[in-house]
A and B are shown apart, each in its own frame.
Chain A
Amino acid sequence: MSEILKVEHLKKYFKTPAGLLHAVDDVSFSIKKGKTLGVVGESGCGKSTLGRTILHLLDSTDGKIWFEGQDITHVSKPQLKELRRNMQIIFQDPFSSLNPRMCVSEIIQEPLEIYKVYNDKQQMLRRVAQLMRTVGLAPNLAGAYPHELDGGRRQRIGVARALATNPKFIVCDEPVSALDVSIQAQILNLMQDLQMELGLTYMFITHNLSVVKHISDDILVMYLGKVVEYSSGDELFRHQYHPYTKALLAAIAVPDIDRKNERILLKGEISSPVNPKPGCRFAPRCEFCTDICRKKSPAMEEIIPGHFVACHNVAKINSME
């Protein structure tokens, strides 16, 4: 199986009045075709910025991006337009990501219009009908406006729009976070079915660990713009090596009364991504922090095959099994 997306040392910095904001700071990973990479982290970790930078909705500051073997780090406008046929995004907020003045069928057919996929209007409507059916929207909703529909249906419109040009890769930016639990399950099932049916590759961004475990093949854990741990989903939930990942998993409120949750409480708050101090970003909150942690930023190391961690003291913390 080939890698459909590869990212190397990707950086995205923002200039702010307070200084340089390191939103994404040296991130590297790859995703195989047909698989799902889950990207987890809390607010400010840079996961949304990562997704948008890969799609060129934001310009990268440094690093390289390869898509289907081609270097797409710097592309011209017409190249970008072609690229967007294959790389799509589903947004978190199903309300603000839809133009309130366009009805359902207009929203879904817009990508088809932009890429002039069909010459014949009938054929285009046929495709719209097919897309609506695929995502579970009743055809009589074609003339409805977003504000007339509930969150679940609105998100389905977003999914249909993303699928219109038959993309190969979709960035899903917290697509179910704004939805009720029972609707979340509906949309997650839909996305999994589509992946199997159409061979889609997903980058699934979320802060919800239960969801990410359910849907991901591999998981990237981010903290303040850096990757702290990267491994397959199953493996990550069995063994975590980075202290942040441990705390994150321990913090999950599991709906099970028998489970005694040993919460690892992190002290303090997340530090600012603006002009970050040298050393490990997690150092101020880490109970295992040592001198070197404050001076040098840890590099990603392969602890066991396929499982990468960025921590100076990983062996000591885990009394290496």
Chain B
Amino acid sequence: MEKILDIENLNVEFKSDRGIVKAVNNVSFQLNKGETIGLVGETGAGKTTTALSIMNLVPGPHGKIKSGEIKFEGEDLLKKNEKEMRKIRGGKISMIFQDPMTSLNPVVTVGDQIAEVIKLHSEKKSRSEIKTKAKQMLELVGIPSSRYDDYPHQFSGGMKQRVVIAIALACNPELLIADEPTTALDVTIQAQVLELMAKLKKELKTSMILITHDLGVVAGECDHVAIMYAGEIVEYGNLKDIYKETKHPYTIGLFRSIPNIDKKDDRLVPIPGLMPDPANLPEGCYFAPRCSMKMPECEKNHPQPVEITPGHYCRCLKVQKEAEKNE
């Protein structure tokens, strides 16, 4: 399998009044061409910051990528200058943001917004060629091309998100980063949009990073899953590893917090407490204060990712201990 993205030891920090906010801590993962990885976590886990780092769009000057490598098609993106990155953004790597209501420019027609990205990444095409391609994209996402000259406010939330997808895929990027693309949408519209994305992904052979907090969406769309907590990846594996052989206490806790649609649970089992303050991360394991399986050493030693079974990694001292016992 060809690797399209290889992130190694990414660290991102923000300067704030309260001190240094460690938003992303030693994040490493890879993505094979044509596959989708789900980046799962709650608010503040660092998923969006990771995605922005790939595009080198971390808001500065207070935000800074401290260290790490982001290899895309073999080249380290962090070593590229702004001009080179601009060529990549929208062209080779595209991003879809969470809120379709605010992602579109309200005073430019949807057709022109799609055309803009095409224009920026093809020096040779003529205006009519660009317009034709933009209309094609509209049809591709299920919007009649006659609506080329309509403005964003004339569309519903679901349709706006389709326009955003059209913009993102207009230049046939290798990698699509979708940041909570359906969170703001109604359930039936979410279904439509996810179906659309799956179809397009297959046709255009796009690799995707899907950022979400919804384990249901991940189950339907992703090949691999990385669970993030306090800026780290605490568990990584394929769908079977994560859904059937869940190992990390946080991941287990997440599953237990969700009401089960098939069984009748009398009571949910929430994870007590809150995510730690990223400006004030605890010693040892970041999840220890909330962990029901915590051992004394968890508060002192910081767990490293350990391969439990081939391809299934977990950052937990207890899981590590049990895996070693089984060997």
Contact = CB atoms under 8 A, between A and B. Distances in A.
B255 A42 contact: no
15 contacts: A42-B189, A182-B42, A182-B270, A183-B270, A185-B258, A185-B268, A186-B270, A186-B272, A188-B259, A251-B191, A252-B261, A253-B191, A253-B220, A255-B243, A255-B255
Contacts of A43: 157, 186
Given A252-B261, A253-B220, A269-B158, A180 B187 contact: no
Contacts of A185: 256-258, 268-271
Contacts of B189: 42, 269
Given A43-B186, A255-B243, A213 B261 contact: yes
Interface of A: 42-43, 150, 152, 180-186, 188-189, 192, 207, 209-211, 213-215, 234, 237, 247-248, 250-257, 259, 261, 263, 265-266, 269-270
Contacts, number: 112
B4 interface: no
B176 to A, nearest CB: 19
Nearest to A152: B274
Contacts of A255: 214-216, 218-219, 243, 255, 258
Contact of B213 (A150, A180, A211, A237): A180
Interface of B: 42-43, 156-159, 186-192, 194-195, 213-220, 239-240, 243-244, 253-262, 264-265, 267-272, 274
Nearest to A244: B188
Contact of A263 (B157, B195, B259): B195
What is the interface of chain B mostly: helix, strand, loop, or mixed? helix
A135 to B, nearest CB: 14
Nearest to A192: B267
Nearest to B273: A182
Nearest to A41: B186
A251 B274 CA distance: 31
A265 B195 contact: yes
Contact of A251 (B187, B268, B269): B187
A189 B270 contact: yes
A214 B268 contact: yes
Given A181-B213, A207-B186, A210-B259, A257 B219 contact: yes
Contact of A254 (B156, B190, B216, B244): B216
B236 to A, nearest CB: 16
Contacts of A269: 156, 158-159, 189
A253 B258 contact: no
What 4 pairs across the A-B complex have the smallest Cβ distances?
Answer: A253-B216, A185-B270, A214-B259, A255-B215
B180 to A, nearest CB: 13
Among A42, A214, A253, A259, max chain B CB count under 10 A is at A253
A43 B100 CA distance: 15
B289 to A, nearest CB: 13
A257 B259 contact: no
Nearest to B267: A189
Nearest to A182: B271
Contacts of B254: 181-182
